[in-house]
Amino acid sequence: MLMNERIKKLRKDNKLSQVKFADMLGITQSVVSLIESGHSNVSVEILKRLSENFGVSVDWLVYGKEKYVRLSRDNSFIPLINVEAKAGYIQNHLDDEFMEKLDLYKIPGFEKGDHRIFEVEGDSMIPSILPRDWIVCKGSDLSEIIEGSLCVVVTSKDIVVKRIYRDKNNPKVIILKSDNADYNDMSIRIADVKELWGVQAKITNNFVSASLEQTKRMDDLERELKEIKSQLSELLKSIKGN
């Protein structure tokens, strides 16, 4: 598909006549007709207007590369930061070109606002969130966060999902807790937080794994209770013997 064909596709996908399309670009209908037929060059200014007005990538318009859509809050697409993109996101989360190259998704119910999808790595949030779950998050400020809320915290070194608590002894520090009891609490300075994303929903296919994890926890609890009973019994025997 040539550039003129991509521009024509863009107009038709948006159900616009050549006249309306021309009005939006600040040109005449005859110029649109010449562009779509391949008889007129497309200026940089027109490419810029096409990208801004219709949320499409300039690379797609010119070369047919990258994605049809351009990352924008206005077009409701949400970028996915998977495990492989994690390091790049930490360094380039403010770079529009980097963000446009991420996989984009539309999630019903999340059409408005600034959102991200993060792929979870590790088992620190079991059983609430499992490894490889996708969590849909909304950009948040610390003042908006309720104690114990699930959040994704982005620092210069890592991206983690934890429950957030304020440090009562130091207002400049937050405490990050895991749902998995095998993990210790973390304390970080608020000044070191680059971004904070409140977890709104999760996408998972680990239903069986979640059930198995809960069963394992119950088995562990039963073993601990038996051990306590055994120790208590030995203690009572020892007391009676004295």
Q: Which amino acid is at 159?
A: I
- Picking from 67, 63, 49, 66, the residue whose alpha carbon sits closest to that of residue 11 is 49
Q: Specify the pLDDT at position 205.
A: 78
Average pLDDT of the residues in 149-160: 95
Count, in order, helices (H) and strands (E) of the chain. 8, 9
CATH 3.40.50.1820 correct for 75-203: no
Half-sphere exposure of 8 (CA within 13 A, CB side): 12
Rounded CA separation 177/190 (Å): 15
Contacts 24+ apart (CB under 8 A), 210-215: 210/127, 210/130, 213/126, 213/127, 213/130, 214/127
Give, in words, the CATH class of 3-70.
mainly alpha
- Please report which confidence band the pLDDT of residue 207 belongs to, taking 50, 70 and 90 as the band edges: low
What pLDDT digit, counting tens, does each position of 79-117 carry? 999 999 999 999 999 887 788 788 888 888 888 888 999
- Please report which confidence band the pLDDT of residue 69 belongs to, taking 50, 70 and 90 as the band edges: low
